[in-house]
Structure 1
């Protein structure tokens, strides 16, 4: 997920540091960042908080990248 990678890097965190803040192994962060693992909303908020980004800021950035019609 490019948005999370950019946020993590802009806050000067390594994958290992973010993983430690989340209480997860570094592979957890790596899999998310390369798209091997999806995150749900609760995980997204936890990651956002661990990075130090305001919850609504990163979520708003994500929403802005999505198409208007999100048919599933």
Structure 2
């Protein structure tokens, strides 16, 4: 649904989605017990029934922050 390597950006987007009643699962792949110097990504995922609304919120949020 939404992927970033910036943790603050992921939390801002998660908050924006949850404030609209969308349940968000956040998968943080930035930390690893084996390789800590390799940057990872953070994925935000939502249920398919909420995907259209989530995409609209993400699009609006991204355009407002440019």
Answer 1 or 2: which has greater strand percent: 2
**Which of the pair has more CA radius of gyration?**
2
TM bin (shorter chain): 0.3 to 0.5
Answer 1 or 2: which has greater helix percent: 1
